[in-house]
Amino acid sequence: MFRAICLIVGYAFGLIQSAYIFGKLHGVDIRTVGSGNAGSTNALRAFGTKAGFTVLFCDAFKTMAAIWIMRLTLGRMYPDILSLIIYYTAVGVILGHNFPFYLGFKGGKGMAATLGLILSLSPFWFFLTMFSLFVVIFLTTHYVSLGCMCAYILFVIETFIFGSRGMLGRNLTQAQLTELYIIAIFLMCLAIFQHRKNVVRLIKGNESKTFLSKKGKEKYKAEKETAEV
């Protein structure tokens, strides 16, 4: 029963489409510009760095808010399975973010929403290691998609490591731990599926790069125009 409640509450929070709302406030349907994705990366490319980080914060926060509510309610009723409650709530948020029914099930890719899950977990190593890996990959390649997928793979590895050491709940049974591992693997597979077009472009070598600075964006644009001539 708690699983259904977590998924429903999480999905409701996931329906808060930050990029879509931000775009509408500026008279633009973000699904019609750039990659067509209603997420922080496309918001960054379409509206600028500040917009991208604003959407990133809002999407991460909605996951944290949903998890906080579940902690205060179901978490107090079932403290021994708090990690499962957190993971299931995050799954609901990510599904709502990726597949909002009122937008024809066309939303984002769930990366910022996943960040909210990572920030809600203990130990803090979850966030620190994944963030560090993402930053290194992004700064060396400027491929957001590659950084996200590598970070997700690390997320699954860390779930296995911390789970086996009792750091995700010492009272979890082996069956509950296995359930936790399955959820982590599901989220990773969903993330890769959402990035399937990016994977193809990465293999072909024509994936779009992302730059935070105006100078970097202009340089990249000039290089692309030169290559097309």
Q: Cα separation of 79 and 83, whole Å?
A: 9
Angle between the N-to-C axes of helices 111-120 and 144-164, in degrees from 0 to 180, rounded to the nearest 10: 30
pLDDT in tens, 120-134: 987 678 889 999 999
Local structure of 9: helix, strand or coil:
helix
Say if residues 87 and 65 touch (Cβ distance below 8 Å): no
Q: Cα separation of 131 and 46, whole Å?
A: 24
pLDDT in tens, 24-69: 888 888 888 877 788 888 888 888 888 889 999 999 999 999 999 9
Residue 170: the pLDDT is: 83
pLDDT in tens, 59-104: 999 999 999 999 999 999 999 999 999 999 999 999 999 999 999 9
| DSSP secondary structure, 142-178, as one string | --HHHHHHHHHHHHHHHHHHHHHTTTT-TT--HHHHH
pLDDT above 80: residue 198: yes
| DSSP secondary structure, 93-122, as one string | HHHHHHS-GGGTT----SHHHHHHHHHHSS
Reported as type and span, the H/E element at residue 200 is: helix 196-204
Say if residues 14 and 62 touch (Cβ distance below 8 Å): yes
Q: How many CB atoms lie within 10 A of CB 39?
A: 29
What number of H helices and E strands is found in the chain? 12, 0
Q: Cα separation of 14 and 91, whole Å?
A: 9
Tokens 């997420």 belong to 39
Q: State the average pLDDT over residues 207-213.
A: 81
pLDDT above 80: residue 220: no
Query: Hey, what's the torsion of the CAs at 166, 59, 37, 88, to 10 degrees?
Result: 40
Task: Give 110's pLDDT tier (boundaries 50, 70, 90).
Answer: very high
N-to-C CA span, the chain? 60
Please indicate whether residue 222 or residue 107 has the higher confidence score (pLDDT).
Answer: 107
Find the DSSP H helices in 2-48. 2-14, 18-25, 40-47
pLDDT in tens, 152-189: 999 999 999 999 998 888 889 999 999 999 999 999 99
Rg (CA), the chain: 18
Q: Where are the domains of the chain?
A: 2-223
pLDDT in tens, 6-24: 999 999 999 999 999 988 8
